[in-house]
Amino acid sequence: MFINSITLYILWSSDPLLVKAARGDRVNRPPAWMMRQAGRYMAVYRKLAEKHPSFRERSETTDLIVEISLQPWEAFHPDGVIIFSDILTPLPAFGVPFDIEEVSGPVIQSPIRSEEDLKTLHPIDFEKLQFVGESLSILRKEVGERAAILGFVGAPWTIATYIVEGGTTRTYTTIKSICHTAPHVLRALLSHLAKAIAEYVIFQVDAGAHCIQIFDSWGGQLPPHMWERWSKPYIDKMVSVIKKKCPQTPIVLYINGNGGLLERMKGTGVDVIGIDWTVDMADGRKRLGSDISIQGNVDPAYLFSPLPALEDEIKRVVQCAGTKGHILNLGHGVLVGTPEEAVAHFFNVARSLKFDTQVDSYAVGASNLVG
């Protein structure tokens, strides 16, 4: 038992800073990364996209995935390197083909809205996702333990919105209607998605991901009582399966517009709750308590502000989050047109922060920053 404890300590002590913060371990500063940190705001990405105009090609070709994923790492050295992919990437692997059109975005030609439609679904085929596994393995080798390699998936409800609506939507009227007109169809679809996506997470972890983020991007479109019924149970199922297979892998749950769902999100059993920029970080920490880690939540628009204003906001967010269990991030993805100088400043400020190791508290407003 003594040897096992020593071995476990050595393994944990070598983990990337982000993984330690996700677990709630003591760290000397907040780790930082950004959602959508690889993308069109970077000149190097735009140049690559000119040569490879198809998003599907860029996100489903191993060499391009690795190159794009590493662009922000090479430029800014964040504490997390997220694979360049999409929440819809695994759909064809379990029977839902899709296209991405330049103007309208994702298009699913055969939406699933009936019992007959459900027959097109099948177990996830990882032979069709080898580019994801290969990319994660290469990223893990390239970055090592200097930063956490992040995998990600969409939550069942969010994926279902695309599959039922046939693409993007602003109203979600079709899927919300099916909640009442054909609930058995929606339950069957969500159950299938929960199983397939949980297996996809395990596949990503086995390939090299240190940490996984679940995006329930459109969960915030549901009233809280409906989210409890149509999203949370399927996230619960996923988390249960993942935790059995990958107990040491932290799981982050992010919902856009999650102010009314924070306490419910905590009940899913994830390790980290991503807080969007519409929730005050101090209020978020108070509502969630000290026994779970949090991520966020600088308003992405602050990256268009003068750099001193951005720095003040970063420090405010970190101060409100407390000295333990906080991953610094934006409250949503990097916006198109964001100045690269501001992104660089964000990460420079994060690296400059130091926690007072004598302060042992998550207390909101505690004097926890030194220097």
Per-position b or e across 72-99, b if 16+ CB within 10 A of its CB: bbebbbbbbbbbbbbbbbbbebbbbebe
- What are the average pLDDT values for consecutive 10-residue runs of the chain, which has 371 residues? 45 84 96 97 98 96 98 98 98 97 89 98 98 98 97 98 96 98 98 98 98 97 97 98 98 96 98 97 97 98 98 98 97 97 98 74 51 48
| Highest CATH level, class, for 19-370 | alpha beta
**Cβ–Cβ under 8 Å, residues 272 and 293:** yes
Please, what sign has the CA dihedral across residues 279, 283, 287, 290?
A: positive
Domain ranges of the chain: 19-370
- Whole-structure pTM value: 0.94
User: Quick one: pLDDT at residue 338?
Assistant: 98
What's residue 326's pLDDT? 98
What's the pLDDT score for residue 259? 95
Report pLDDT for 369: 65
- The predicted pLDDT at position 101 comes to 86
Cα Rg, the chain, nearest whole Å: 20
What phi, psi does 318 have (nearest 5°)?
-65, -40
CB 283 within 8 A of CB 11: no
* The pLDDT of residue 75: 98
CA distance 272 to 21: 9
Interacting residues of 62 by C-beta distance below 8 A, sequence separation 6+: 131, 134, 135, 138
Structure tokens at 178: 């099916």
- Report which of 311, 316, 320, 315 is spatially closest to residue 361, judged by C-alpha positions: 320
Pairwise CA distance, residues 300 & 53, whole Å: 26
Look at residue 116 in the predicted model and tell me its pLDDT.
Answer: 98
